[in-house]
Structure 1
Amino acid sequence: MIRPVLGTIAVVCHEQQVILVQRGKEPRAGMWGFPGGHVELGETAMQAAARELLEETGVIARPRQYLTNIDVIARNETGGISAHYLLTAVLCDYVSGQPVAADDAAQAGWYPVDGLETAGLDLLDQVVDVARLAQRHMG
């Protein structure tokens, strides 16, 4: 039986830009989104967001608050559910480092929130909405 899996994404918004990574592995290889991954047993989603950010980009950030939750429900060719993830979006305060792709990220970098739609990136669902939400929370 397939059950939902808890994951987290690190949303680092600094100087009107966010860190995005291009997925290097399936599912959704080649698409762009926030660094993130599975929450490990005994780890909070906030701790996992900071860990995944460091593993995928080398950037250090301090988790600030939960922004929102995102349901990702993948369906197979017959319409059945093949995977279900609940992702917690964690707003993080930038501390140090420049994004360099590592772990399962193919590319990583800072991207301006304004203009994400026209940046020519194949974005995962809700990236623009979450980036704007983060920008509003950062003031």
Structure 2
Amino acid sequence: MSLPVPRLAVLAVVVRGDQALLVRRANPPDAGLWGFPGGKVDWGEPVEAAALRELAEETGITATAGPVLACTDAISRDETGAIAFHYHLVAVACHWQAGAPQAGDDALEAAWVAQDDILSEALPLSARVAEVLARALAAQR
């Protein structure tokens, strides 16, 4: 019997000036919460390419990929306590090239959000968004 394995997914971390690009998710896990654009990595797809693809699909933004900033896990449980979702997330720094945020794919909203609002967790955020943003800002210095 084979055991389930985590799904590999990416986060596209785009910082521009004193803002970062976030989407409000439409689907579980984290439906209704704000987080970085992202999603599943396709078979044979490098994480950098997946981050750029997901960014374009969810926001209409085009960018270039930079370094991997962080890796983390998103584990959600159902009402019985069983694991419903387990994603291993790779956060990729992406450098904005063009476009204005427009929600697409599985995003309810897409917007540039003040870094201070993210770091202070003033919005309902997915887990570790503020931590990943802090790493992105530290990498820029």
- Into which bin does the TM-score normalised by the smaller protein fall? over 0.9
Tell me the CA shift for residue 113 of structure 1.
Answer: 1.2
2:125 to 103, 106, 123: 123
Q: Distance in 2 between matches of 1:100 and 1:11?
A: 16
Contact 1:70 1:86 in 2 (8 A): yes
Q: Secondary structure at 1:115's aligned position in 2?
A: helix
Give me the whole-angstrom Cα distance separating, in 1, the residues matched to 2:120 and 2:70.
24
Amino acid in the other structure paired with 2:71: N
- Regions of 4+ moved over 3 Å: 117-120
Name the CA distance, whole Å, in 1 between partners of 2:117 and 2:23.
16
Measured in 2, the distance between the counterparts of 1:119 and 1:133 equals 15
1:88–1:119 Cα change, 3 Å:
closer
Calculate the TM-score normalised by the size of structure 2. Answer: 0.92
Q: 1:39 aligns with which of 38, 41, 56?
A: 41
Task: Provide Cα deviations, 1:85-124, integer angstroms capped at 9, x if missing partner.
Answer: 1000001111111111111100011112123255742100
Distance in 2 of aligned mates of 1:137 and 1:3: 30
Please tell me whether the aligned partners of residues 36 and 52 of structure 1 are also in contact (alpha carbons under 8 angstroms).
Answer: yes
The two structures, once aligned, show a CA RMSD in angstroms of: 1.4
The correspondence for 1:71, drawn from 67, 70, 73, is: 73
Q: Residue 30 of structure 2 corresponds to which residue in structure 1?
A: 28
Cα distance in 1 for residues equivalent to 2:83 and 2:71: 19
Unpaired segments ≥5 residues, structure 2? none
Q: Partners of 1:16 and 1:127 in 2: how far apart?
A: 16
| Aligned mates of 1:125, 1:107 — CA distance in 2 | 18
Determine which of 57, 71, 87 is the counterpart of 1:85: 87
Q: Which sits farther off after the overlay, 119-128 or 38-47?
A: 119-128
Please, which runs of 5 or more residues in structure 1 have no aligned partner? none
Q: Is the 8 A contact 2:72 2:89 kept in 1?
A: yes
Measured after TM superposition, the shift of residue 24 of structure 1 is 1.2
Deviation at 1:59, TM superposition (A): 0.4
- Identity of paired residues, percent? 42
